Amino acid sequence: ALQDPVSERLNGRVKIYLDHHYLLCKQPLKLVPLKQVCDGQLDCLQGEDEANCPQWVPAGPPAGARVSKDRSILQVLNSNTGAWSCVCHDHFSAALARAACQQMGYRSLSPVQEPLVPTRAAKPIPFPSSSRKCLSGLVVSLFSQCPLAGCGQSVRTPRVLGGSPAAIEAWPWQVSLQYRKEHICGGSIIGPGWVLTAAHCFNWRVKAGSELLSGAATFAVEKVFLAEVTPASPKDNDIALVKLRSPVHYSDSTKPICLPYFDEELVPGTPLWVIGWGYTEEHGKLSERLQQAEVQLVDELSCNLAAYHGDVTDRMLCAGLPQGGVDTCQGDSGGPLLYSGGHWQVVGIVSWGQGCGTPSTPGVYTSVRAYLDWIYAVRRVSPSCPRAEAAPFGSAGSLKDTAIRHMALAAL
Ligand SMILES: [Ca+2]
């Protein structure tokens, strides 16, 4: 039947209201309040309300390989002794490189096979005692291996102090996490199939839905992985990994960011960068253009003394400026705190803080370095094989609404 415009508008409003408060189970038709979505209880007969929910992954044991900030030298764990040692280049092979990369959750070596890079040891390096002598005295550097090559690189554009519009080519790993085409959080591409963001971006419990939205620069979410939260420190573990349905293809405006080195201790006062589409003032609105600002690392003790009364743990970082005025704010959540140490690294994830840019209340960030083993564990649990896994989603009752949009034009 034809509808008059008024009742059409009214229907539209009813639909929006229902969409924001209820999930519709398909067979039999039933409305389920959104707070019962992903609560562990089956409310839809077909289980749509509990399908595609975020998956909790514990950190598990440390990965058996890691890369040092000192020339990206590979270290491997001796599981018998618990000791870490470098690897002699004499006996190294592509198979061993592949095994090391897999320990860190990389599916394979980069498609462009570069020769293994030997690095001369500056000081005596402990080699596994069982191995033969290391005649060359060369150890293995892994930076050009794994699909690490090319991370943290961006075109040089002016980066201005104090908050200013930014070009996406300057920050090509930055993405917008969107729900029903509305910006929810920022995030960082850390590999072709993975986006790093904050767990609190998923507090609304809506499932990672499942359908490709239109537009070349939008990526469907396949699954969301969260670290387990302990009641003792509820603000800890504000980290999430979003697995994309299909891999991101790299270009000048789309590149991955490097993870930090396990042994990179940044000193207070180190200049860091924050970027995002978040509010530019405390009770403002989302920014049309990507914003960038330089801040400084604030040590944990003064951060707690200044404002947070011990809520800041050693798995968090604080950053801000003593005079205030530059900070992350609502809408920046999940985005990166960046350190430029040769190549750009995501050292933090925008997490929480009091106010925005208030003097003496720095922003608080999840320390990515504290979660390297968790990131490796998630990537090992769920290796990216996009084409093989594409089938079972998008069926009954998925919400189809969560997507990662790469903001190629740096505008919402
Ligand atoms: Ca439920």
Strand partners for 9: none
> What pLDDT does residue 147 have?
57
Q: What is the pLDDT of residues 20-31, one digit of tens each?
A: 778 888 888 999
What distance in Å separates the CA atoms of residue 252 and residue 293, rounded to the nearest whole number?
21
CA atoms within 13 A on the CB side of 227: 29
Number of H helices, E strands in the chain: 5, 21
Q: Mind listing the pLDDT tens digit for each residue in 278-293? A: 877 777 778 778 888 8
Separation of alpha carbons 386 and 401, rounded Å: 19
Q: What is the mean pLDDT of the chain?
A: 76
Q: What is the pLDDT of residue 297?
A: 96
380 vs 344, more confident: 344
CA atoms within 13 A on the CB side of 228: 8
Catalogue the active-site residues: 200, 238, 333
Q: Count of CB atoms within 10 A of residue 146's CB?
A: 25
**Bigger pLDDT: 321 vs 360:** 321
Find the range with the poorest average confidence among 75-79, 99-103, 119-123, 185-189.
119-123
Distance 19 CA to ligand 1 centre (A): 16
State the distance from the centre of ligand 1 to the C-alpha of 39, rounded, in angstroms. 5
pLDDT in tens, 145-183: 565 557 888 876 655 555 677 777 888 898 888 877 778
- d(CA 34, ligand 1 centre) in Å: 9
Q: Which residues pair with 241 in a beta bridge?
A: 196, 225
Task: Find the 12 Cα to ligand 1 centroid distance in Å.
Answer: 26
Q: Helix H segments across 130-222?
A: none
Residue 92's nearest CA partner among 145, 126, 139, 147 is 139
The reported pLDDT for the residue numbered 401 is 47
What values do phi and psi take at 240, rounded to 5?
Answer: -145, 145
- CA 350, CA 327: separation in Å to the nearest integer? 10
Q: Quick one: average pLDDT of 353-379? A: 87
Is residue 339 pLDDT above 90, yes or no? Answer: yes
- Residue linked to tokens 């992350």: 328
Tell me, in angstroms, the distance from the centre of ligand 1 to residue 47's CA: 8
Query: For residues 344 and 289, is the Cβ–Cβ distance under 8 A?
Result: no
